Amino acid sequence: MARRSDHTRKQIFDMAMAAAERIVETDGFCGLTARNIAGAIGYSPGTLYNIFDGRDDIVLHLNGRVLDRLYNRLVDAPVSGVPNVDIGGLLDRYFDFLHDHPNLWRMLFEHKLSRDRSFPVWYVLKVDRVLGLVSSALEPFFCDEEKNRKAEAARILWASLHGICSLADMGKLNAITNRPVRDMAKELMRLLLAGLDVSRASILR
């Protein structure tokens, strides 16, 4: 087993994150333990706890990496200025990410912080960066003074999409409909955007 002096603190952090990601990809969130991570990088669990403030901290940093990967997958989506087209492009890339990394996607939503902890600012900023792409796609529906409404609409779309994806992931969506999950998500998008279009038109009257 490697000695603590063999690597810097930053190197151990990076090694632990890479190992944790591999473990989740292979074994799912349930396989993510300090012992498994430590064993994968040749250190003791105690060394990990000198780097991280408990398991919550490990998962938060790993989920932060997942959010970065999701952002990088979404950010290159073409932008046309037409909400239906742009949201549709983001949606397709979101589902591609889910298909390629189902266990990492599940971990984002399965992990619950301990009651005495809250999400750190750096993590919230990563979430906001992803949601900002959705918010930008909704830009034509809102004027400059409606930034809060636009951000809230993006969060509603994200949360609603997660509900559909979670039902499909648990094998329960077919109790509601026989339609494929992507079709359901696109119909959700169509309904939400139609509602925003009507709302915008009423304001402009």
Chain segment 122-140, per-residue pLDDT in tens: 999 999 999 999 999 999 9
CB 72, CB 37: distance < 8 Å: no
Residue type, 181: V
Does residue 111 come out as left (phi exceeding 0), alpha (psi in the -120 to 50 range) or beta? beta
Residues belonging to the chain: 205
Tokens standing for residue 169? 């992931």
DSSP state of 142: S
Range list for CATH 1.10.357.10 in the chain: 54-204
Report how far residue 115's alpha carbon sits from residue 145's, in angstroms, rounded to the nearest whole number: 36
Locate tokens 């990492």: which residue?
104
- Spatial contact of 77 and 37, defined as CB atoms under 8 Å apart: no
- Section 24-49 average pLDDT: 94
In angstroms, what CA-CA distances link 140 with 37, 63, 81, 115?
46, 31, 7, 39
For residues 162 and 106, the answer to whether their CB atoms sit within 8 Å is no
Question: Residue 117 has what DSSP assignment?
Answer: -
What per-residue confidence (pLDDT) applies to 11? 94
pLDDT for the residue 2: 46
Tell me the two tokens of residue 131: 């949601």
Report, in angstroms and rounded to the nearest whole number, the Rg of the chain calculated over CA atoms. Answer: 20
Residue 1 has pLDDT above 70, yes or no: no
The residues, any chain, with a CB within 8 Å of residue 20's CB and separated by 6 or more, are: 32, 37, 58, 62
Alpha helix (H) ranges present in the chain? 9-27, 34-41, 45-51, 54-75, 83-100, 102-110, 121-137, 147-169, 181-204
In the chain, CATH 1.10.10 sits at: 1-52
pLDDT at residue 203 in the model: 55
- Between CA 77 and CA 98 the distance in angstroms is 16
pLDDT at 61: 96
Average the pLDDT over 47-71 and give the result. Answer: 94
State pTM to two decimals. 0.89
Superfamily in which the 54-204 domain is placed by CATH = Tetracycline Repressor, domain 2 (1.10.357.10)
> Which structure tokens are listed for 106?
């599940």
Encoded tokens for 71:
């952002």
Q: Which CATH class is domain 1-52?
A: mainly alpha
Of the candidates 64, 62, 52, the one whose C-alpha atom is nearest the C-alpha of residue 10 is: 52
Decide if pLDDT at 45 tops 80: yes
Amino acid identity, residue 96? Answer: D
Q: How far apart are CA 86 and CA 78, in angstroms?
A: 7
